[in-house]
Amino acid sequence: MTLAHFCLNCIGSYYSALYCIRKFNRQTVFIFLLKGAILLEGKQGINFAMVFISLQISCQFENIEEIKTDSSYSYFLKLRCNNCGESDDIWHDICEEERTQHDTRNAKGYNMIIKCKMCSRENTIDIVEDSKKSYVEDDTGKLKSIVTFDCRGIEPIDFDPREGFIVKSSDNGTTFDNAEIENGDWCDFDEKNGKSVAISEFKSNFVKVKGTKK
């Protein structure tokens, strides 16, 4: 689509679109296009507004060096629509390895596309590339961001860790590849070192962060 045709969708006049492009500077045209995008969003039901939200966790360790997730881990989230404010009690799982193709505007697709049952707005969430971080022994008791989501029209409001965490024991001990954190706790036995290992007081929080590159 040419710049003129994009403007045409916004103001309904081809001659006015050409006049705008020829007469005004780039900054003015950019503002004009931004307004047009908002108008098109309303017509097509797709939300272009981008917000980056990080998932933070805190917990306590016993004989553990590090916990982390990989690209196969599913984040179970409860969501709220930013258009109408509707939220529900359903847990929605989002996985970095799974992508859904929606249309030609995003050839890579999205990690999740969801339509609000109240206002019918289609919203999307992506896991930001290279945003995942480990939670290590020095972090215990403090909130730390472990992943960032690119949220468009929707935001997470609750997190259930469930299974899939990779837990590395202290002193080069056993690595557990599928730890399940339930009710804020997990425990097992490190046979290499002959010690019990545990995660306790697991808590989570969401925080908005400045834009970041994928």
The total number of structural domains in the chain stands at 2
* CA–CA dist 194, 63 (Å, integer): 11
Which residues, including other chains, have CB under 8 Å from residue 123's CB and lie 6 or more apart? Answer: 47, 81, 82, 83, 113, 114, 115, 116, 151, 152, 153, 154
Torsion of Cα atoms, 176 then 214 then 115 then 8, to 10° = -170
Identify the domain containing residue 30 by its residue range: 3-44
45-99 pLDDT tens trace: 555 578 999 999 999 999 999 999 999 999 999 999 999 999 988 999 999 999 9
Q: What is the band of 4 on the pLDDT scale with cuts at 50, 70, 90?
A: very low
Both tokens of 203, joined, read: 């808590």
Q: Does any domain span residue 177?
A: yes
Which residues, including other chains, have CB under 8 Å from residue 163's CB and lie 6 or more apart? Answer: 178, 179, 180, 181
Query: Is the predicted pLDDT of residue 214 greater than 60, yes or no?
Result: no
Position 18 scores a pLDDT of 46
In this structure, the answer to whether residues 113 and 165 fall within a common structural domain is yes
Q: Does any domain span residue 214?
A: no
138-179 pLDDT tens trace: 999 999 999 999 999 999 999 999 999 999 999 999 999 999
Q: Does any domain span residue 65?
A: yes
In this structure, the answer to whether residues 40 and 62 fall within a common structural domain is no
* CA–CA dist 104, 197 (Å, integer): 48
Q: Does any domain span residue 180?
A: yes
In this structure, the answer to whether residues 56 and 32 fall within a common structural domain is no
Both tokens of 94, joined, read: 């989002």
Position 50 scores a pLDDT of 85
Q: Does any domain span residue 130?
A: yes
Q: Does any domain span residue 21?
A: yes
Both tokens of 32, joined, read: 């004009």
Position 149 scores a pLDDT of 98
In this structure, the answer to whether residues 59 and 22 fall within a common structural domain is no
* Helix (H/G/I), strand (E/B), else coil: 88: coil
Partners of 155 in the beta sheet? 80
In this structure, the answer to whether residues 152 and 190 fall within a common structural domain is yes
Query: Is the predicted pLDDT of residue 43 greater than 90, yes or no?
Result: no
Mean pLDDT of the chain: 83
In this structure, the answer to whether residues 33 and 65 fall within a common structural domain is no
In this structure, the answer to whether residues 152 and 127 fall within a common structural domain is yes
In this structure, the answer to whether residues 133 and 179 fall within a common structural domain is yes
Query: Is the predicted pLDDT of residue 129 greater than 60, yes or no?
Result: yes
Q: What is the band of 22 on the pLDDT scale with cuts at 50, 70, 90?
A: low
In this structure, the answer to whether residues 92 and 180 fall within a common structural domain is yes
At CB < 8 A and 24+ separation, what contacts does 70-73 make?
Answer: 70/166, 71/95, 71/96, 71/97, 72/96, 72/97, 72/164, 73/164, 73/165
142-153 pLDDT tens trace: 999 999 999 999
Position 36 scores a pLDDT of 47
Position 101 scores a pLDDT of 77
